[in-house]
Structure 1
Amino acid sequence: MNREALETWRSRVRGSLLGGAIGDALGAPVEFESGRKILKKHPQLLRTFVTGGAGWPPGTVTDDTQMTLFTIEGLIRAGVRSDRGLGLTLAPVHHAYDRWLDTQQRSAPSGERDGWLQAEQWLYARRAPGNTCLGALRGARQGGPRITQYGVQAVNSSKGCGGVMRVAPFGLLPERFGTAGVFDAAAEAAGYTHGHPTGKLASGALAAIVHEICGGAGLEAALDATAELLTRHEGHEETSTALAGARHQAATAPGHGPVRVEELGGGWVAEEALAIGVYAALAYPEPGQLLDALALAVTHSGDSDSTGAICGNILGALHGESALPPELAGAVEGRQVILELADDFVREFSQRGHEAARYPGW
């Protein structure tokens, strides 16, 4: 990879991770409010960070961003493992989710776990974590974190959006991993907590969209490639239909607004969250419209933080870090950690080699 291509990829990685965090923090305070109530307070749509109440200042992220960061840390560890000739396996990602579980069950780092990310105190805030994620990860432990069954799929029928909201980092992997491989890996990682086929396939689809974009495709072309890839998987119909609906709305509906968003659902389940994020990105696809897209993605009666995060992941990858609204990019919680992980990810998958103490290969 030449220097120019490397810098473009780095900008996409940083843009996707930071864009997802911005969308998450933008939508989080209004997640459980009706679209009508949000519009009454924000008639131009929600375009600035607002407080989520006591202990929830403007710009605060939720479990969506927390788990996304552990996803990318797990991928870096998987890369380190591969550097040692052990092969690129996904168990380190499951291991990372197990460390995230500690942040939701403790008030501070215990000193018992490895790696630097789990020592970040700000990650120990509980921001309405998904019950399915918590339950599945607790179940995988079978008695304690030292005997967790890493890499085992969850046995449940959930297709909640807790899988799709965290897997964009798979799409940021270099081209050599292939879009089909990225799709399958993201679907498998979502399956650690969400057992329904749609929960997995919607997650694979988001990763595929991001991966195609990082490879140079436009948004429509990335969606075309993902739509074709979906048809190869049994049980794809719900996800395929939701994405087709989002594209139809963006192409034909007169005017874009919360009413159109809510016709796609509430975003509580995986395919709806993906569809809303895609619709908002298609409605405002230009670099200078990124804040318009995020505002549309979060102003509705549904899972506003997850739909905002997905939209931010997609457009951040498409346009790069420089297109992010500076007033939000500079104020989002965890900014420095997010960018540090982004740069470490790029370094690992372009140059290889990290200290084992920082990113142990498991």
Structure 2
Amino acid sequence: MSSDPGTPAPTLKSRIHGCLLGGALGDALGYAVEFDSITDIRQRFGPQGLTGLGDLSGPRHFSDDTQLTLYTVDGLVEALEWANAGVGADVNACLWLAYLRWLVTQGEDAGPSAPAPQPRWIDSNEVLRQRRHPEKNCISGLATGEMGTTVRPVNPGAKGPGTVMRSAPFGLIPHIAPDAVYKLSADAAALTHGHPAARQSAGVFSLLIHRLVSGEGLREAAAGVTAHAAALPEAAPELPERLEAALRLAEKVPVGPEELVQALGSGWTAEEALAVALYSVLATLPTGAADAQPDRHFRDALAVAVNHSGGTDTAGSLAGNILGALYGEDCLPVEWLEALEAPEVIRGMADQLVKVTTGEG
């Protein structure tokens, strides 16, 4: 169980909803300033930067991070539906078909060699058909019409955050071994990105979510996955280096956005985005039971994750995923949820995952 002071023990359903909704909230917050420098952010919102969805006067859209996360849920749900019916299914093939359906929503074509997947409920939601600056490696990897694998990856040099940003759902499936969580996530990352750091970042992030959902505390889970990253066969050195730097930085007095980027990177690669998110949630972790207010932790962590010059939507999304998995829905600010785009679509996909994994309606 968790050893972090004041951490509650939410239900799996609450963690699933919290993780997916929290990721969407962080994504929407970061997407609003994704291409702004920290100087621009301060000019727009004041010296504290962007602190909540209420600061935004325009649309509170989420990005392709949330779209692809929900399509990951859909691919996993389809595989689990087949399994529950007693039929074996290739999980990665189900995910590839889901991502190909997302590709169509972006106005792209995988060519005649790719299969034509049958539509599912998720495809009927107009909000998921909007083009929200999708990562180019996700588009190009799927547009090859080839199902990439770790042995024969598409986009061999791609290490953008398009893998890690969509990988939280692998950690939400109960009753599977940690090694299986990692492998499912890393294999799915190879569908679009070939660089080891991109695949390993996705696997390690899914493993972090899995450990939190299993009841482990945030500090213990973060240290555990950092050690796991360093021990991987053929480990990409930049991943454990960034994660170890995030752990060290979180032990200091909170640093400013400039020092954050200098130490961890700007978040435009998978390992940098994960490191920034991990630092954000650890540096703002309450130190005692009296200080344990999940919604305050969420607000504080997301402010750190999105106020810097870099890939703020992915850092925000990952931080929201982490805290939603840790606390469940209790950490999500009510007024943020009220401002969130299409919460019914996110809850609809969360409910599908709950039903197929637990049998709850």
Q: Deviations over 1:52-109 (max 9, x none)?
A: 99xxx42201100000000001110010121233335221111110000011007xxx
> 1:49 is matched by which residue type in structure 2?
L
What residue number does 2:83 align with? 82
Q: Which residue of 2 aligns with 1:91?
A: 93
Conserved in 1, the CA contact under 8 Å of 2:277 and 2:316?
A: yes
2:129 to 114, 124, 127: 124
Give the 3-state SS of the residue equivalent to 1:177 in structure 2: coil
Does the 8 A contact of 2:277 with 2:318 survive in 1? yes
Change (3 A) 1:155 1:128: closer
Moved more, 112-121 or 17-26: 112-121
Give the distance between the partners of 2:145 and 2:9, measured in 1 at CA: 38
Do the aligned residues in 1 keep the contact of 2:222 with 2:278 (CA within 8 Å)?
no
Residues in 1 aligned to 2:148 and 2:268: alpha-carbon distance in whole angstroms? 26
C-alpha contact (below 8 Å) 2:9/2:327 kept by paired residues: no
Which residue is 2:119 aligned to?
Answer: 114
- Give, as a single letter, the amino acid of the residue that structure 1 aligns with 2:81: V
Q: Comparing 229-238 with 307-316, which one deviates more in the overlay? A: 229-238
- Say whether 1:139 aligns with 2:144: yes
Tell me the residue number matched to 1:164: 164
Equivalent residue of 1:90, what SS? helix
1:24–1:309 Cα contact (<8 Å) kept: yes
What's the secondary structure of 2:12's corresponding residue?
helix
- The 8 Å contact of residues 76 and 95 in structure 2, kept in 1 or not, is answered as yes
Q: Hey, what's the Cα distance between the residues in 2 that align with 1:312 and 1:44?
A: 19
Q: Is 2:21 the counterpart of 1:18?
A: yes
Return the offset for 1:7: 6.2
Q: Does 1:294 align with 2:302?
A: yes
| Match of residue 39, structure 1, among 39, 42, 66 | 42
Q: Is contact 1:267-1:276 (8 Å) kept?
A: yes
Deviation at 1:11, TM superposition (A): 0.7
Superposition CA RMSD, Å: 2.3
CA contact (8 A) 2:54 2:336 kept: no
1:110-142 residue CA offsets vs partner (Å, 9 max, x unmatched): x9842111111121111111111111111026x
Alignment gaps of 5+ in structure 2: 1-7, 109-115, 287-293
For residues 317-362 of structure 1, give each alpha carbon's deviation from its aligned partner in whole angstroms, at most 9, with x where no partner exists: 111112111111221112111111111101101129x9xxxxxxxx
- Structure 2: distance between partners of 1:196 and 1:207: 17
CA distance in 1, matches of 2:136, 2:343: 26
CA distance in 2, matches of 1:232, 1:28: 32
CA contact (8 A) 1:199 1:270 kept: yes
- Contact 2:100–2:117 (8 Å) recurs in 1: no
For 1:135 and 1:232, the matched residues in 2 are separated by: 28
Which residue number corresponds to residue 146 of structure 1?
none
Counterpart in the other structure of 1:145: none
2:323 to 315, 327, 331: 315
- The CA distance in 2 between the partners of 1:194 and 1:52, in whole Å, is 33
Q: Give me the identity figure in percent.
A: 38
Q: Which runs of 4+ in 1 moved over 3 A?
A: 50-53, 149-153
Rounded Cα–Cα distance in structure 1 between residues aligned with 2:60 and 2:261: 24
Q: Distance in 1 between matches of 2:245 and 2:211?
A: 20
Is residue 2:158 matched to residue 1:187?
A: no
Partner of 1:343: 351
Q: Distance in 2 between matches of 1:328 and 1:233?
A: 41
Report the 3-state secondary structure (helix = DSSP H, G, I; strand = E; otherwise coil) of the residue aligned with 1:320.
helix
User: What is the rounded CA distance, in whole Å, between the counterparts of 2:145 and 2:117 in structure 1?
Assistant: 19
1:29 offset after TM fit, Å? 1.9
Letter aligned with residue 18 of structure 1: L
Q: Indicate how the Cα distance of structure 1 residues 52 and 195 shifts in structure 2: closer, same or farther if over 3 A, else same.
A: farther
Deviation of 1:155 (Å) = 4.1
Deviation at 1:238, TM superposition (A): 1.2
The equivalent of 1:224 in structure 2 is 223
- Taking the aligned partners of 1:265 and 1:335, their CA distance within structure 2 comes to 31
Task: For 1:185 and 1:283, locate their aligned partners in 2 and report how far apart those are by CA, in whole Å.
Answer: 29
Give 2:196's aligned residue: 197
Partner of 1:58: helix, strand, or coil? coil
Q: Is contact 1:160–1:270 with CA below 8 Å preserved after alignment? A: yes
**Structure 1 residues 7 and 156: CA distance shift in structure 2, 3 A:** same
Supply the AA of the counterpart residue of 2:105: T
Give the whole-Å Cα distance in 2 for the aligned partners of 1:155 and 1:282.
33
Matched to 2:25, the amino acid is I
State how many pairs are aligned.
333
TM-score by length of 1: 0.87
**TM-score normalized by the length of structure 2:** 0.87
Partner amino acid, structure 1, of 2:60: G
What is the rounded CA distance, in whole Å, between the counterparts of 2:350 and 2:285 in structure 1? 23
- Cα offset, 1:51, TM superposition: 9.2
Task: Name the SS for the 1:235 alignment partner.
Answer: coil
TM-superposed CA distance for 1:245, in Å, is 0.4
Spell out the pairing of 1:137-286 with structure 2 (5 A cutoff). 137-140=142-145, 149=147, 153-174=153-174, 176-230=175-229, 231-252=231-252, 254-263=253-262, 264-286=264-286
